[in-house]
Amino acid sequence: MMGTFFTWLATALSLLIVDLVVPGVDIATFPAALIAAVAIGLVNASVKPTLSFLSMPLNFVSLGTFSLVVNGICFWLASILVPGFAMRGILAFLLAPVVLSFANTFISKYFAERNLGVLTGSSSELKTN
């Protein structure tokens, strides 16, 4: 349960970074970012596999570049579902999911290193023999 919470929190913080870095992405409040994080997770779990399967020929021909479009569609769908989360423009469509991925990876790794003891229920001190 704590792992899921940290994932949502990392994604929400990453969305706030995307709001700062990418023009065309607007997030009104931190609660909107939390709700958007959950919406992005749900869209990625439900819609993205179908889109990826249907776009497989285009992805093959474009050597994987069409995945940027699939990610943009999923990001856009999440922005439609959440009030206070808006996305406008082709730059936001293509760049926002990439920035979100990099920021989320960095923040998730930070949480994992800092809170390993909390997540596993053990001490984070290393023992040496």
Q: What is the pLDDT of residues 67-95, one digit of tens each?
A: 999 999 999 999 999 999 999 999 999 99
The overall pTM is greater than 0.95: no
The candidate with the shortest Cα–Cα distance to 71, out of 46, 98, 89, is 98
Q: What confidence tier does 126 reach under pLDDT thresholds 50, 70, 90?
A: very low
Q: Which residues contact 28 (CB under 8 A, 6 or more apart)?
A: 84, 85
Greater pLDDT, 67 or 120? 67
In this predicted model, what pLDDT tens digit does every residue of 32-69 receive, in sequence order? 999 999 999 999 999 999 999 999 999 999 999 999 99
Residues in the chain: 129
